[in-house]
A = this chain, B = another copy of it.
Amino acid sequence: MKKPLILVTNDDGINAPGIRLLVKIMNNIGDVVVVAPDGPRSGMSSAITIESTIRCNKIIIDNGPQEEYSCSGTTVDCVKLATNVILKRKPDLCVSGINHGSNSSINVIYSGTMAGSIEGALEGIPSIGFSILDTSLNADMTEIIQYVESITLKVLKHSIDKGLCLNVNFPKKKKDIEVKGVKVCRQANANWIEEFDERIDPNGKKYYWLTGKFVNYDSGKDTDEWALANHYVSIVPVQFDLTNYNSLIDLKKIF
């Protein structure tokens, strides 16, 4: 049987431990091509590079069988470059991550990791974004390897919908608590309450660091936040038709 062609990207940069592990796992499943940013692009959402130029160079990072390209652009630039310039055929799967930090709930909006998989889905490639609720570069990911593998294999086996995009989040590893399994969920209604950290530079001028507190308004047991808080892996299918169909009829009466 022909091996699937798997495009791997992320937003923490091509050298981040999360993507290195993801590459290793994917090498057991298919032929892997990595196109990822040359450094961190967290919180870049679906940003694309249109005001400046993009560099993309083939590089070797380890002894694995994968082909790798390091790109000066955003995660979405990487996916566009991969599918339009680098790859000779459309990949069978696009995976993004493993992100060092949560992309559950509203985080999906700001996430470069998820933007990478949304872009893959947009181009008709079944896509998965993987994230772990641990921002440490030394996050313990041993337990989640089996889940990354099994979710990937299931998508490859079952994917009929070419526009499929999954947002997969893993709970942070806690001592003596095992991951209980997988839950297919909806995105929780949660948000960030920003708290800008105001500081004064050496020249006496103000500047800010963006920071904030995550607030979950949603107690639904069918949400990703519930699943994660209860030690499940959350899987949310993500769409890129942003039309709010529920409000169409009411708005037609007004306009």
Q: Which residues in A have some Cβ–Cβ distance to B below 8 Å?
A: 40, 42-51, 53-56, 73, 76-77, 80-81, 83-85, 106, 108-110, 115, 118, 122-123, 151, 154, 158, 161, 164-167, 182, 184, 186-187, 189, 191, 193-196, 198-199, 205-210, 235-248, 251-252, 254-255
Contacts and interface: CB of A to CB of B under 8 A. Distances in A.
A244 B239 contact: yes
Given A194-B80, A238-B242, A242-B108, A184 B251 contact: yes
Contacts of A154: 254-255
Q: What number of copies of this chain does the assembly contain?
A: 2
A251 B239 contact: no
Contacts of A247: 161, 164, 237
Nearest to A159: B254
A115 B243 contact: no
B49 A47 contact: no
A109 B252 CA distance: 23
Given A45-B76, A47-B110, A186-B241, 4 more contacts: A45-B46, A56-B208, A186-B248, A237-B251
A237 B46 CA distance: 20
A255 B43 contact: no
A40 B47 contact: no
Contact of A196 (B44, B85, B237): B85
Contacts of A235: 251, 255
30 contacts: A43-B48, A44-B45, A45-B46, A45-B48, A45-B115, A54-B196, A54-B207, A54-B209, A77-B210, A80-B194, A83-B194, A84-B193, A85-B208, A109-B118, A109-B122, A109-B242, A154-B254, A158-B254, A164-B247, A167-B242, A184-B248, A186-B241, A186-B248, A187-B243, A235-B251, A235-B255, A237-B247, A237-B248, A238-B243, A239-B243
